[in-house]
Structure 1
């Protein structure tokens, strides 16, 4: 009696079974709380490092920051320590992709950020955004990529392209999205909801690879970041009589500039 012919060609080695494939380091099973060690850079905020599995911002992966409307100056307070650390360590650039406004250069300088090493890339549409993201992620001179999602919604497959681009590098990659996208699926390894409060930044860890439970922490804002009411003359309805009319004549809309509270200068006497 002869045995039935094998469906596998005789010269092909036996394939791996499903259990073998599930043991790969790049596959995470939801119920498995174990995670492989990953390079990370301290966020500069002890409260945040304590709730991040790797003790800081994980490198070589996509990190999503979800804010009220995709425009929140809290992300600068959140990321400034990491930016200054990177600029002090190596030669390279901080890349801003599709920022909704111009950074306030005086504030960056005051925080010790060399603005000559900050580059801004402004894509015209979603397709250009994805192309720029994947190309910049492959650039060795990019130490940190801070990107703002385009107005057109990004699909899961488009986010996946960005995520795969980050997996081939060892830098930090951030994508800022609007809060309503929280309910959407995302391949990002880390997702954080940011909320700017009166004296604190509240951070909700929505997703963290290797951990199922959501976590929350708060970071205290410096005193000079606390909210101040606008000068009453600035609220003038008639802009022609505004004390800022000369600035308005320049044609630079104030809404297109990131406004940061300036840290009081130290006086020496």
Structure 2
């Protein structure tokens, strides 16, 4: 076999080898790829910064919040609306009770929403893991402030065996802690929207935070006026006034 033919055969063999494992091998200066399906975020600027252009299923995605209620639900609304068309969305340990009127205004059918509130952290972790292993839900949002490393690994392994889009919402202080999550985003309030700092992804380091507007028109709500009357999650009722 001539040298040219040998090089050609080697190139074909390398290409054939690279095809099935391309999602698992990537260079640090290039955007990685994932084998699992993705759901578009609904924000073109954010899609361009995520591997495969959206929220990946079958993996642990961490959203690290400066504080709850800064726009994280409006950020996820387009993806949740797309998933809820065919599969359930589960909320585990949200900081406030879901407001059905706001969810309906966002195009999220209330019959596709499942809300779980548990008395203990261990119960919440067990519930989230079972939801992932069951595989019957399209999206899982799990709020948790304190999580041990072994619990994170169990959740990530359970997510890998499912087709669920799994967001874990944690406080900003968790950004300094190690995590098996392949995708970690820091969310901070911003004028008219939200600032997103991608601190971990399968790709090069993000040069600067993203600034996304999150007004009602961009969120795709069918009734923009609903945002003036309802929140996606109810706040706790204030203490009763004295007589």
Report the TM-score when normalising by structure 2.
0.75
Question: How much has 1:73 moved relative to structure 2?
Answer: 4.6
Q: Confirm whether residue 35 of structure 1 aligns to residue 28 of structure 2.
A: no
Cα distance per residue 1:13-40 (max 9 Å; x no partner): xxxxxxxxxx977866884746344321
Where does the alignment leave 5 or more consecutive residues of structure 2 unmatched?
1-19, 219-234, 239-243
Q: How does 1:92-103 map to 2 (within 5 A)?
A: 92-103=87-98
Secondary structure at the aligned position of 1:72 is classed as coil
1:118 aligned residue (87, 93, 113): 113
Summarize the Cα distance change of 1:29–1:43 in structure 2 as closer, same or farther, 3 Å threshold.
closer
User: Which of 73, 77, 89 is the aligned partner of 1:76?
Assistant: 73
For residues 31 and 131 of structure 1, do their structure 2 counterparts lie closer, same or farther at Cα, with a shift above 3 Å needed? Answer: same
1: distance between equivalents of 2:217 and 2:82? 22
Aligned positions of 1:120-135 closer than 5 A: 120-135=115-130
- How does 1:166-185 map onto structure 2 within 5 Å? 166-185=159-178
Kindly name which structure, 1 or 2, has the bigger radius of gyration based on alpha carbons.
1
Bigger helix share: 2
Q: CA deviation at 1:116?
A: 1.6
C-alpha distance after superposition, 1:168-223 (max 9, x if no partner): 011200000000110000111110011122212111101002x1413521211216
Among candidates 128, 133, 154, match of residue 138 of structure 1: 133
Give distance in 1, aligned partners of 2:69 and 2:158: 25
Q: Normalized against structure 1, the TM-score is what?
A: 0.68
Q: How many residue pairs end up in the alignment? A: 202
CA distance in 1, matches of 2:182, 2:216: 33
1:230-267 per-residue CA deviation (whole Å, 9 max, x = no partner) reads: xxxxxxxxxxxxxxxxxxxxxx9426xxxxxxxxxxxx
Structure-2 change in CA distance of 1:34 and 1:51 (3 Å) = closer
Give distance in 1, aligned partners of 2:118 and 2:62.
19
